[in-house]
């Protein structure tokens, strides 16, 4: 049986258009909207709120209500209860560090687009068997880099697999991940470090977002959509290229 892919194309395109997603652990829900606003003003259109605090669902709810323009996802979803809470709060997508079929099944049942974490081809086979095509590559910076990711992805490229590399990535290490053909969007906490959030330094968050957005705009483009589309997914659809071609600043 072929399962319906969990990430709708418009959602994947939205992530690709942002290029980067800020991973943030928010302790105080009153900080939620200022964080989202600062990132959005700096040019980052996606945020992942981690379920590492008891108030994570409330944080997502506040962002959905107060800064609806940003794509707000839920991270560190470790079990069914997390998935259900994220969905009820209005999360646009969910991410996990590992590949747990029980959590994937919960996300499918709820209708939450979900990216499990993978670091090996075996993880990928499990994720694909459960209908996941967008995968968190974790812990990206402690693995062998974008070329290793592309090598691992090659046997699966015809299935349209795309990655969210996360884990230890910084502004300095961002460009090669952005240039990696099978990468949809690069995530990390470097955009909104905990100490910056704790001192409510929204100007620094905005500046971090601006610097990342500059690199997203500068990422290399293929000569044509079809050329890179063929490299990524022979004969198939390449959401990153479509998203780039939709981006007004690339027109
Ligand atoms: C996480 O879940 O913590 C993300 O992968 C972000 O990792 P980072 O803090 O190393 O950027």
- For the chain, the structural domain boundaries read 9-250
Pocket test for ligand 1, best of 26, 167, 192, 196 (most atoms within 8 A of CB): 167
DSSP 3-state of 121: helix
- Which residues line the pocket of ligand 1, CB cutoff 6 A? 23, 75-76, 97, 138, 166-169, 188-190
Pocket test for ligand 1, best of 168, 170, 173 (most atoms within 8 A of CB): 168
> What is the b/e burial string over 25-55, where b = at least 16 CB atoms within 10 angstroms of the residue's CB?
bbeebebbbebbbbbbebbbbbbbbbbebeb
- Ligand 1, atom 9, lies closest to the CA of 189
Q: What is the pLDDT of residues 147-191, one digit of tens each?
A: 999 999 999 999 999 999 999 999 999 999 999 999 999 999 999
Query: Does the domain at residues 9-250 carry the CATH identifier 3.40.50.300?
Result: no
Q: What is the pLDDT of residues 39-58, one digit of tens each?
A: 999 999 999 999 999 999 99
Closest CA to 166 of 132, 130, 116, 206: 116
163 with 178: CB under 8 angstroms?
A: no
Say how far apart CA 21 and CA 225 lie, in whole Å: 23
Burial grade of 211 (CB within 10 A; 0-12, 13-18, 19 or more): middle
Rounded to two decimals, the pTM is 0.87
- From 125, 129, 136, 230, active-site residue: 136
């Amino acid at each position: 049986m072929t399962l319906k892919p969990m990430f709708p194309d418009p959602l994947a395109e939205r992530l690709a258009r942002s290029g980067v997603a800020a991973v943030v652990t928010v302790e105080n829900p009153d900080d939620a909207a200022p964080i989202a606003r600062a990132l959005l003003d700096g040019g980052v259109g996606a945020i992942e709120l981690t379920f590492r605090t008891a108030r994570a669902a409330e944080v997502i709810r506040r962002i959905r209500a107060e800064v609806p323009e940003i794509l707000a996802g839920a991270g560190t979803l470790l079990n069914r209860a997390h998935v259900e809470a994220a969905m009820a709060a209005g999360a646009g997508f969910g991410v996990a560090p590992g590949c747990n079929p029980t959590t994937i099944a919960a996300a499918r049942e709820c209708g939450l687009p979900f990216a499990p974490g993978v670091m090996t081809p075996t993880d990928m086979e499990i994720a694909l068997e459960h209908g996941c095509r967008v995968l968190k590559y974790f812990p990206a910076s402690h693995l062998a880099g974008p070329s290793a990711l592309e090598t691992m992805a090659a046997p699966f490229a015809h299935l349209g697999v795309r990655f969210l590399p996360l884990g230890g990535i910084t502004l300095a290490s961002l460009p090669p991940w952005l240039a990696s053909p099978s990468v949809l969007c690069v995530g990390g906490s470097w955009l909104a470090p905990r100490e910056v959030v704790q001192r409510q330094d929204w100007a620094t968050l905005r500046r971090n977002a601006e610097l990342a957005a500059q690199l997203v705009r500068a990422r290399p483009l293929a000569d044509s959509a079809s050329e890179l589309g063929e490299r990524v997914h022979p004969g198939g659809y390449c959401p990153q290229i479509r998203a780039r071609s939709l981006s007004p600043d690339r027109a």
